Structures are given as structure tokens and as C-alpha cells.
Amino acid sequence: MESIYNLSEDDFKLYLNNLGEKPFRAKQIMEWVYRHKIESFDEMTNVKKTFIEQLKKDFSLDLLEVVTHQISSDGTQKFLFRLKDGNLIESVLMNNEYGYSICVTTQVGCNMGCVFCASGMKKRLRNLETAEIIMQLLTVEKVTGIKITHIVIMGIGEPFDNYENVTRFMKIVNYPLGLEIGARHITVSTSGLIPGIEKYSNEKLQTNLAVSLHAPNNELRNKIMPVNKAYDIDKLIDAIKKYIDKTNRRVTIEYLMLNEVNDTKECALELANLLKGLNVYVNLIPYNETSHIEFKKSSNERVMAFYDTLKKQGINVTVRRRFGSLIDAACGQLRANEVNK
């Protein structure tokens, strides 16, 4: 049976049209499902019985099965879920001063093969359905009783390799009568799939874009991110420029700090040069070390030196707070531990 969480308001309108029902019911369904978070269709008090029976026949309201739920001393919570087909995925809930944000997974595994990433060690088995992404959020809210205010699409998987399901997810969580998560509170991160960036620039979503750059030149980026061989840095920067021109929105450049790999002063200067004049800000990410991967994190001194060099060059830069490193909360690490057992 299809999950109800796969449908956007537009999809419900189509469904209703096929049934000969009035389109306004789409709004009612969205409201019941996402605002009132019904667990049974019988809770829909302003809807006629025959229609409720139809919904029961067509859709499931099930959430995800929680395999493990860990809470770190810094308040970060990590969830491992089992999907209907037995595959495992994970989400991380972070407590920030501005609210609660969830990091969601978009694929089972990832095909991009970044050499530093635990998710990339397992080939993509399949894309997640929209519902499987939404259910991560709904299940976490249900288990914790917390209202999630921000979403980062930075868990396992390359979101733009699952473009349609991910953008439908964004539309559903942003729906004003539903979960009502503000577009500006939603960020999608890509390893640099240029066709995805181009498509995304045409969506009228007002959501945020982050790009995982992690290296300031092709030679280095080719070594750590194979995607660079298909879409090199010059083309990527050009795509980011066009995105900014089109949307008038600032882009986040993610830069992972890998000890003595990409964290030298030369790299910082090269990065500054690459980004000069662009409406971007750089987010330096402390690396979460993974047992099966040889990369080490940069020391705080090296991160700060890199930060200072960028600042002096006039680049906007921040250092990401470390989240949940105590419970392997970096992308893909919990699942990697399970799968490698």
C-alpha cells in the first residue's frame, strides 16, 4: 500500500480528480496529516465516511521502525531506522540555539564515492521515496515530542541524484497548513551535480543551497571527490554563479578540514581566489574520523589559521560546530557501523 507521505498537495489534487472528488479536499488531507498528525484516517472529523474508507483503502499512515536511538551528551540525537525492505537509514536531530534541526537521508548508500565519507563506501542501493524522507522527520518528532524547525538534507546520499523525490519532500514540509517549515530553514547539500544545480535554480522554492567543495583545485578535488571528473571546479563555480544570478540567493560552500590534505595556507589562498566576488560564505567543517577511513581531522590551530587566511582575503567564513561526534553522528557513520558488522 502506498504511503500517504509520498503525495504533495498537487498529487492529492490529481488523485481526487480521478475519484471525482473536489480539489479542496487536498488541503484538508494535508492539514490532517501534517498539522494534526493523525494516526488513523478516522480522526478526520470534517470528512465524509465514504471518503475516509477510500483513503484507508489507498494509503498507509505508518511511520518508520526505530532500530536504535542514541542521545549524545551535547544533546544530539541519532536515529537508525529500518525501512520496509529491510534497508537501514539514519537521521540526526540537533539542538541549536535557534531551534531543532534534522539531518535527513535521501538514498540508501551513495554512488558519488567521496573517499573521506562513510556513506560513499557503500554503493547506492536505491533512492528513498519522498515518504521515506518525510517519515524520518515525523518519526523523530513523534518519538521525541520535539517540533523540528530546520532541515538539512545532508544525511546519506546525493540529493540531486534523487532530484524529484527530494524536491517533492521540500514542498511538502514547507506546506503552509502542514509542517510549515520555512523555506529559508531548509538547506540541501550537493557534491556538485551541475544538472541538479541548474534545475534547482528554476524551482521557486526559496530554500537554501550548499555545495560540498572540499578542495580549491581540480588536482586535489579529483583525488577526493570522483564527481569532479565529470563536473570540474571551473564548471561548478560557473554553475554556482549562474544559480546566484538567477535566484539572488547566497550559497554556502562546505569545506571539510582534512589534516594536511586540503588545510594548508596555499589551499586557503587558492580557495579565496576561486570564490572572490561571489555571493557565498564558506563553512569549514571539522572532519569526523571514521574507523575504516585513513583521513584525520585538522587540529583546531590549523582550522583557525585557515579561517584567518580566508577572512583576511575578504571571504565570509564560519566554522561549523561539531555535532554528535561522540555517537558517530557524521553522515553515514552509524549505518556504516551496522552494515560493516
Binding positions for ligand SF4, rule: CB under 6 A: 110, 112-114, 117, 119-120, 156-158, 191, 212, 331
Of the ranges 66-74, 112-120, 196-204, 273-281, which one interacts with ligand SAH (CB under 6 A)?
A: 112-120
Active site residue 331: yes
> Is 262 in contact with 298 (CB distance < 8 Å)?
no
Reduce the DSSP state of residue 289 to 3 states and report it.
coil
Out of 3, 76, 167, 190, the only residue in the binding site for ligand SAH (CB under 6 A) is 190
Angle (deg, nearest 10), helices 163-174 and 194-201: 30
Residue whose entry in the numeric block shows the C-alpha cell 551535547: 74
Nearer to ligand SAH by C-beta: 135 or 225?
Answer: 225
Q: Pattern 296-335, binding to ligand SAH, x per CB under 6 A?
A: ----------------------------------xx----
Which candidate in 31, 260, 331, 338 is catalytic?
331
Residue 274 binds which entry of ligand SF4, ligand SAH, none, with Cβ cut-offs from 5 to 8 Å by kind? Answer: none
Cβ burial of 234 (10 Å; 0-12, 13-18, 19+) is: exposed
State the number of binding residues for ligand SAH (CB under 6 A): 17
Q: Residue 104: which of 76, 146, 136 has the closest Cα?
A: 136
Out of 158, 233, 258, 309, the only residue in the binding site for ligand SAH (CB under 6 A) is 158
Alpha-carbon distance of 162 to 128, in angstroms, equals 8
Instruction: Name the minimum Å distance from CB 176 to ligand SAH.
Output: 27
Instruction: Name residues contacting ligand SAH, limited to 231-290 (CB under 6 A).
Output: 254, 256, 285, 287-288, 290
C-beta nearest to ligand SF4: residue: 120
Estimate to the nearest angstrom the gap between the alpha carbon of 303 and the chain centroid: 24
Q: What is the grid cell recorded at 258? A: 582534512
Alpha-carbon distance of 339 to 109, in angstroms, equals 11
Alpha-carbon distance of 278 to 290, in angstroms, equals 33
Q: What is the grid cell recorded at 99? A: 531551534
Active site residue 103: no
Residue 162 binds which entry of ligand SAH, ligand SF4, none, with Cβ cut-offs from 5 to 8 Å by kind? Answer: none
Instruction: Name the minimum Å distance from CB 239 to ligand SF4.
Output: 16
Alpha-carbon distance of 298 to 271, in angstroms, equals 17
Amino acid sitting at position 163: Y
Nearer to ligand SF4 by C-beta: 19 or 125?
Answer: 125
Interface residues with ligand SAH (CB under 6 A)?
A: 114, 116-117, 154, 158, 189-191, 212, 254, 256, 285, 287-288, 290, 330-331
Catalytic residues: 90, 331
